[in-house]
Amino acid sequence: MNFKLLFPTFRNRYLFVRDRLKKYAGNEQPHPDEPVRKGTTNTPAPTSPAPTGAGGQPDGNQLTTNNKQPTIHNGLNLGTGEGDYDRMIAAYCTELIACDVNEEDLAHARALNAGVMNLRYEPNNALALTYPDQYFDLIVSCEVIEHVGDPAQMLREMSRVMKPGGVAIMTFPSREFPITYDPVNRIWQVTRSEGSREYAISQGAYAFGHDYLIGSDDFRRWAREAGFEIVEFKGLSRHFVGLLEMYWTGIVQRIFKKNAHNVSEEKERKGGALRPASTKEPALVFITDSVLWLDKLLFGWTGRSVGKGVVLRKK
């Protein structure tokens, strides 16, 4: 199972991507562990209506990928990491490329999603992508932009390789996080002098290899300057989830997770070696979903959140 799905912040990001794929890619998502059938590799989506039976209903004998043909020709998961999202995203694509700078992460992701035949893994740099202009219909990028060093350049590269009208689904950690998540760094933000570093301690919001977080106003400006229209901009995980994950999740990741700082192999510290063994949802994930529901009910009105989920469209 993928134990990460028991963590509310990770689960919230996963649900955001899942629901936006349904909304913007057009087809209902299959179960994440259902492999894409081999016969769909590099097969373009059909342009003619599906055969219908009596009463104009779809013909149940028609064989399609996960019961429906993919609507996205070329998709990119930019910064795939350990491949948690790839099986789900691939169900919407004729071809999905998943790239990262860390070869060990790519090797794990390749093994994790070995049965997905329309998925290809390769190393690539988000600041200097090797793909041609206007190539992708869909780009998904989760918790990547805060690691690249030049967020504006990453968005420019995403815009360059995306077709006009294409959609990007992104998540990232928010600089406007709730005080319940990281009181030390939240107070530091208010009291620090001009020119001092962004954080006081490398824990809480600044764990996970974060030297900086993404401000909402900054992101909106970068996206507009790169040629994107902002379709959705949503807070993910607020005060209750922040309180439940305050500090300990970063410490646990540092101790147990392989590539705890989410960096390239050259910079990776040797530590634990825990990685997800499959993409299956744990049986207890309903508890996490209940926590997310309560967090939204109690604090959905606030402007502060641990992370942000956004949908962009290339103009």
Domain ranges across the chain: 3-42+65-314
Q: Answer for the pair 306, 205: CB distance below 8 angstroms, yes or no.
A: yes
Two structure tokens written together for 215: 């401000």
The H or E element containing residue 9 is helix 8-25
Is residue 68 classed as helix, strand or coil in its secondary structure? coil
**How far is residue 288 CA from its own chain's centroid?**
18
pLDDT tens digits, the chain, 315 residues: what are they?
888 999 999 999 999 999 999 999 875 444 444 444 443 333 333 333 333 333 343 333 322 334 466 779 999 999 999 999 999 999 999 999 999 999 999 999 999 999 999 999 999 999 999 999 999 999 999 999 999 999 999 999 999 999 999 999 999 999 999 999 999 999 999 999 988 999 999 999 999 888 899 999 999 999 999 999 999 999 999 999 999 999 998 888 777 665 545 555 545 445 556 777 888 899 999 999 999 999 999 999 999 999 999 999 999
Token representation of residue 159: 């815009």
Q: What is the pTM of this model?
A: 0.83
Closest CA to 63 of 93, 37, 89: 37
Q: Which fold has domain 3-42+65-314?
A: Rossmann fold (3.40.50)
In which residue are the tokens 């209940």 written?
Answer: 290
